[in-house]
């Protein structure tokens, strides 16, 4: 064989090896972590049904409650749940929905979480060998695909505002966790927050990097493969950080985000895109006070057009998210039940708008006195290659409109899609940040906590009250279909070759395209 033929053979061999390796990686579960491949929400080459509904429902099985999203291997589905204080990992058969095994975390007490949260919020990580699970109440657990325990590692529960929600991600032979914490280091005003890598096979710590300027956050990191290498990207309290995923060494950061960061960044080879709303959920730089006034008017019991001191008692709640029902735990700022504390609270909130000191808010006082909360909503595009603070040097563009509080952005074919509470879908040009369209989807009114997912030219959007809307991608808004699931749904769906899996309050449902 000549040198030229040998070289050509070697090239072909390498190419075939690459294809086989890629296929194996996909088989391990293309949707193998929170939001699927690379945390993107994008399922390439998959064709789930577009007209989701009873006709294509393959199965619906009862499951205990939890807010983790389903993840997939070639033949199984994995999720976590909580029931009567017990934290569990559940494996189901993809074809039938039959439960294959259930394993319990060795916890004595579960962490305290917000009423809208869950002790089973973090999504499972799966690869060809391991199932890796994180519970804030315990730490990390590793199983094989048959449910046999490989290792477990207790991790002190970080103190957070609402409960832990960040999920583990994989990088080579490591699993990476962001453990941001409101507690301070001993004798310091700096935070105990950190990002830690563990060996997948053993659970031993591979590296650890302090995050002393970060407090509790709820975003899950991504690995950004860009033009000059790979970065571990972590969105946290007030800033976006880039680290070397091999060593944990800090590389760059950019600021401007709010105190409460939840969404997962998305990326292409040219930019990483990260978003956070203003604290409390405001998605626009300038807030319209009208919906807030309209939301508190039901507390005007004597119908005189004012909110009087006597009306500021339980169940009075000042709205943070006026698009939600008043009994929703995320609606706003309730009054204390304790009489003394309630009177102190009333003194405080009356002072916000009661300019004439008549112990009441008029509409005019409210509308004139309403001020935006601190911080600003932000979506920013960051270029690779920077070091240190790159806020002024590597941000290609930023926008302060249409920013969701909980759902993550989705990037596909040069367009960033953002779904906000109230069912407002915005499409933004990833090249320059220009808004392409902004449409309200009437069927998705109210809260949206599930992140959008994509397959075969369509976005799948799930509202918390249990309606799924299917929207065509592209520069023109076009809703194709909507369907009522019959139960509330607050988690991000998973997608494989011909199915979409949706977790509702009490069930896991498979909708499958017929062959």
Q: How confident is the model over 484-490, as a mean pLDDT?
A: 97
Residue among 368, 369, 470 at smallest CA distance from 47: 470
Average pLDDT (97-113) is 96
Residue 373: per-residue pLDDT: 60
Confidence of residue 20 (pLDDT cuts 50, 70, 90): very low
- Write down the pLDDT at residue 509: 99
**How confident is the model at residue 325, as a pLDDT?**
82
β-pairing, 388-389 with 250-255?
Answer: parallel
pLDDT at position 283 is 64
Tokens for 121, please give them: 């919020």
- Provide the pLDDT for residue 26: 39
As given in the structure block, the two tokens for residue 124 are 């499972």
Predicted pLDDT of residue 17:
39
* pLDDT at residue 167 is higher than 70: yes
263 neighbors 209 (Cβ within 8 angstroms):
no
Q: What are phi and psi of 39, to 5 degrees?
A: 70, 20
User: Sign of the CA dihedral 22, 24, 26, 28?
Assistant: negative
Angle of CA points 65, 167, 28, to nearest 5°: 95
Tokens of 236: 């946290």
Q: Is the pLDDT of residue 9 over 80?
A: no
Contacts of 102 (CB under 8 A, 6+ apart): 88, 89, 90, 91, 147
Q: What is the pLDDT of residue 285?
A: 66
Confidence of residue 18 (pLDDT cuts 50, 70, 90): very low
Choose the weakest-confidence range: 8-12, 201-205, 280-284, 416-420.
Answer: 8-12
Overall average pLDDT of the 418-430 stretch: 96
List pLDDT tens digits, range 228-243.
Answer: 999 999 999 999 999 9
Per-residue confidence (pLDDT) for residue 374, from 0 to 100: 58
Which CATH code of 2.40.10.10, 3.90.1300.10, 3.40.50.2300, 2.130.10.10 fits the domain covering 29-285+374-512?
Answer: 2.130.10.10
CATH 1.10.238 is held by the domain 290-369: yes
pLDDT at 387: 97
> How much is the pLDDT for 375?
67
pLDDT digit string (tens) for 269-296?
Answer: 999 999 998 876 666 667 788 888 999 9
Buried b / exposed e over 93-113, threshold 16 CB at 10 Å, is ebeebeebeebebebeebbeb
Q: What average pLDDT does the chain have?
A: 91
Strands 130-135 and 125-126: antiparallel
Q: What's the pLDDT tens digit per position in 21-63? A: 333 433 334 899 999 999 999 999 999 999 999 999 999 999 9
Provide the pLDDT for residue 7: 45
Return the exposure string of 395-419: e unless at least 16 CB atoms fall within 10 Å of the residue's CB, then b: bebbbbbbbbbbbbbbbbeebbbbb
Return the residue matching tokens 């600003």.
376
Residues contacting 290, CB < 8 A, separation 6+: 367
Tokens of 37: 């491949």
Using 50, 70 and 90 to split pLDDT, how confident is the model at 324? confident
Task: Identify whether the C-beta of residue 124 lies closer than 8 Å to the C-beta of residue 166.
Answer: no
Q: Distance (Å, rounded) from C-alpha 496 to C-alpha 485?
A: 20
Q: Contact at 8 Å (CB) between 107 and 116?
A: no
The closest of 77, 73, 133, 70 to 105, measured between CA atoms, is 133
Q: Is residue 11 over pLDDT 50?
A: no
* pLDDT > 50? residue 16: no
Task: Specify the pLDDT at position 287.
Answer: 78
What local confidence, expressed as pLDDT, does residue 45 receive? 95
Which residue would you say has higher pLDDT here, 187 or 461? 461
Residue 329, judged by CB atoms within 10 A of its CB (0-12, 13-18, 19+), counts as: exposed
Rounded CA separation 114/320 (Å): 15
> Which pLDDT score, from 0 to 100, does residue 281 have?
64
Taking the domains of the chain in order of start, what are their residue ranges?
29-285+374-512, 290-369
User: In the predicted model, is pLDDT for residue 145 greater than 60?
Assistant: yes
Average pLDDT over residues 255-259: 91
CA dist 303 → 33, 300, 351, 354, 384 (Å): 51, 5, 22, 18, 57
Portion of the chain with pLDDT greater than 70, in percent: 92
pLDDT digits (tens, 9 = 90+) for 386-420: 999 999 999 999 999 899 999 999 999 999 999 99
Residue that the structure tokens 């970080």 belong to: 158
pTM score over 0.85 = yes
């Amino acid at each position: 064989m000549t040198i030229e033929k040998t070289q050509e053979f070697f090239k072909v061999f390498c190419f075939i090896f690459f294809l086989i390796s890629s296929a194996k990686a996909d088989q391990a579960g293309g949707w193998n972590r929170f939001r699927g491949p690379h945390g993107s929400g994008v399922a390439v080459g998959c064709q789930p049904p577009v007209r989701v509904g009873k006709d294509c429902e393959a199965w619906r099985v009862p499951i205990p409650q939890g807010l983790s999203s389903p993840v997939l291997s070639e033949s199984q589905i994995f999720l976590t749940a909580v029931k009567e204080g017990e934290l569990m990992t559940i494996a189901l058969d993809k074809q039938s929905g039959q439960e294959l095994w259930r394993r319990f975390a060795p916890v004595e007490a579960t962490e305290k979480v917000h009423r809208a949260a869950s002790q089973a919020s973090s999504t499972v990580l799966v690869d060809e060998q391991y199932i890796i699970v994180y519970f804030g109440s315990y730490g990390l657990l590793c199983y094989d695909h048959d449910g046999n325990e490989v290792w477990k590692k207790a991790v002190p529960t970080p103190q957070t505002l609402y409960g832990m929600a960040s999920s583990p991600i994989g990088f080579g032979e490591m699993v990476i966790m962001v453990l941001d914490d409101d507690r301070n280091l001993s004798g310091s005003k700096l935070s105990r927050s950190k990002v830690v890598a563990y060996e997948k096979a053993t659970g031993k710590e591979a590296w650890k990097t302090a995050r002393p300027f970060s407090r509790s956050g709820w975003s899950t990191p991504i690995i950004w493969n860009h033009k000059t290498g790979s970065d571990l990207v972590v969105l946290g309290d007030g800033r976006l950080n880039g680290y070397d995923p091999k060593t944990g060494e800090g590389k760059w950061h950019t600021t401007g985000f709010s105190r409460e960061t939840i969404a997962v960044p998305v990326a292409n080879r040219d930019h990483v895109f990260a978003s956070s709303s203003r604290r409390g959920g405001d998605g626009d730089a300038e807030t319209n006070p009208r919906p807030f006034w309209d939301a508190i008017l039901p507390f005007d019991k004597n119908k005189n057009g004012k909110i009087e001191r006597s009306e500021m008692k339980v169940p009075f709640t000042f709205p943070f998210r006026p698009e939600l029902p008043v009994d929703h735990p995320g609606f706003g700022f309730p009054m204390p039940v304790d009489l003394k504390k309630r009177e102190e609270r009333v003194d405080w909130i009356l002072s916000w708008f009661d300019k004439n000191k008549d112990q009441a808010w008029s509409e005019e006082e409210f509308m004139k006195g309403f001020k935006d909360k601190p911080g600003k909503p932000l979506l920013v595009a960051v270029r690779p290659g920077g070091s240190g603070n790159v806020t002024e040097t590597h941000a290609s563009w930023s926008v302060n409109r249409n920013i969701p509080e909980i759902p993550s952005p989705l990037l596909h074919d040069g367009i960033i899609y953002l779904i906000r509470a109230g069912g407002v879908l915005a499409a933004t040009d990833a090249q320059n940040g220009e808004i392409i369209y902004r449409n309200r989807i009437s069927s998705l009114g109210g809260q949206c906590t599930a992140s959008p997912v994509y397959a075969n030219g369509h976005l799948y959007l799930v509202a918390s009250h249990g309606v799924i809307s299917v929207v065509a991608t592209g520069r023109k808004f076009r809703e194709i279909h909507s369907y009522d699931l019959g139960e509330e749904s607050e988690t991000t769906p998973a997608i494989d070759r011909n199915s979409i899996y949706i977790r509702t309050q009490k069930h896991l449902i498979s909708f499958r395209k017929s062959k």
